[in-house]
Structure 1
Amino acid sequence: MLPKLHLLLRFRFLVSASNRHFTRSNSVFRITATYSTICPNQVESPNEEAIEHPRDSIQIFKQWGCCENDLLKIFSRQPSLRNAQATPLLSKLNLLSSLGLTGSDIVKMVNCRPRFFCSRINNCFDERIEFLVNLFGSREMLRKALVRNPSLLTYDFHNTMKPVIALYEEIGISGNDSIAMLISRPTLIPRTSFNEEKMEYIKKTGVSKGSEMYKYVVSLLGISRIETIREKVTNLEKFGCSEEEIWSLLGRSPLILTLSVDKVQRNMTFVLGTMKLSPRVVLEHPFLLFSNLEAVLKPRISLARKQKEMELDPQIKGSIMLTALRMTENRFLNLFIKCHPEDVANELLDFYKHAKGLKPLAESSKKILRKGFPF
Structure 2
Amino acid sequence: MVDYLVSTCGVPQAKVAKAAPRFAHLRSPDRPDAALAFLRSQGLTRAQVRAVVTLHPTLLLRDVDATIAPKFRAVRLLMKCLAKKWLLKYSVDWLKDSMSTLRGYGVPEARLVATLRQRPALIMRSPARLRALAARVDACGVPRGSWMYAWALLALHCVSDAAFRAKMAAVMCATGCTEQEFLAMFRRAPCFVGMSTELLRRKVEFLIGTAGCGADDIVRNPVLLTYSLSKRMEPLCRAIEALKARGVDVGKERLVTILRKPEVRFMERYILRYSHQAPELLELYPPDHHNGSLSGDSSTIGSSSQSEGD
TM-score strictly above 0.5? yes
> 1:125-162: CA deviations, max 9, x gaps?
xxxxxxxxxxxxxxxxxxxxxxxxxx97x452246413
Residue 69 of structure 1 pairs with residue 38 of structure 2: yes
Contact 2:106 2:146 in 1 (8 A): no
The structure whose RCO (Cα within 8 Å, separation 6+) is larger is: 2
The match for 2:136 is 201
* CA distance, structure 2, for counterparts of residue 226 and residue 267 of structure 1: 22
Contact 1:202 1:218 in 2 (8 A): yes
Contact 2:152 2:187 in 1 (8 A): yes
1:271, distance to aligned residue in structure 2 (A): 0.4
Between 105-114 and 209-218, the greater mean CA deviation after superposition: 105-114
Identity of aligned residues (%): 20
- Alpha-carbon distance change, 228 to 155 in structure 1, aligned in 2, over 3 angstroms: farther
Residue 269 of structure 1 pairs with residue 238 of structure 2: no
The match for 1:168 is 102
1:281, distance to aligned residue in structure 2 (A): 0.6
Residue 111 of structure 1 pairs with residue 76 of structure 2: yes
* CA distance, structure 1, for counterparts of residue 150 and residue 84 of structure 2: 31
Residue 349 of structure 1 pairs with residue 279 of structure 2: yes
Task: Specify the code of the residue in structure 2 equivalent to 1:250.
Answer: F
Contact 1:74 1:110 in 2 (8 A): no
The match for 1:244 is 180
Alignment of 1:221-232 (within 5 A): 221-232=156-167
Contact 2:98 2:125 in 1 (8 A): no
> 1:190-239: CA deviations, max 9, x gaps?
36783776344312332222322222223432454445434433432331
- The alignment partner of 2:279 has SS state of helix
* CA distance, structure 1, for counterparts of residue 155 and residue 163 of structure 2: 12
* CA distance, structure 1, for counterparts of residue 193 and residue 255 of structure 2: 26
* CA distance, structure 1, for counterparts of residue 272 and residue 108 of structure 2: 50
The match for 1:34 is none
Contact 1:217 1:251 in 2 (8 A): yes
- Alpha-carbon distance change, 70 to 292 in structure 1, aligned in 2, over 3 angstroms: farther
* CA distance, structure 2, for counterparts of residue 230 and residue 307 of structure 1: 41
* CA distance, structure 1, for counterparts of residue 154 and residue 126 of structure 2: 8
CA RMSD of aligned residues (A): 4.5
Task: Specify the code of the residue in structure 2 equivalent to 1:248.
Answer: A
Equivalent residue for 2:150, pick from 187, 207, 215 = 215
> 1:286-331: CA deviations, max 9, x gaps?
232122222332233234334444443234x5x4423322335554
The match for 2:259 is 325
- The alignment partner of 1:275 has SS state of coil
The match for 2:192 is 256
Residue 288 of structure 1 pairs with residue 257 of structure 2: no
The match for 1:335 is 269
Contact 1:204 1:244 in 2 (8 A): no
Alignment of 1:29-44 (within 5 A): none
Contact 2:171 2:177 in 1 (8 A): yes
* CA distance, structure 2, for counterparts of residue 208 and residue 118 of structure 1: 35
* CA distance, structure 2, for counterparts of residue 257 and residue 170 of structure 1: 25
**Which consecutive unaligned segments of at least 5 residues does structure 2 have?**
1-15, 21-31, 57-66, 287-308
* CA distance, structure 1, for counterparts of residue 272 and residue 18 of structure 2: 70
Task: Specify the code of the residue in structure 2 equivalent to 1:349.
Answer: P
- The alignment partner of 2:211 has SS state of coil
- Alpha-carbon distance change, 247 to 158 in structure 1, aligned in 2, over 3 angstroms: same
* CA distance, structure 1, for counterparts of residue 154 and residue 81 of structure 2: 25
The match for 2:116 is 182
- Alpha-carbon distance change, 113 to 196 in structure 1, aligned in 2, over 3 angstroms: closer
- The alignment partner of 1:208 has SS state of coil
* CA distance, structure 2, for counterparts of residue 299 and residue 186 of structure 1: 34
Structure number with larger C-alpha Rg: 1
- Alpha-carbon distance change, 116 to 291 in structure 1, aligned in 2, over 3 angstroms: closer
Contact 1:192 1:222 in 2 (8 A): no
* CA distance, structure 2, for counterparts of residue 187 and residue 353 of structure 1: 41
- Alpha-carbon distance change, 312 to 73 in structure 1, aligned in 2, over 3 angstroms: same
TM-score normalised by length of structure 1:
0.51
* CA distance, structure 2, for counterparts of residue 175 and residue 356 of structure 1: 38
- Alpha-carbon distance change, 160 to 336 in structure 1, aligned in 2, over 3 angstroms: same
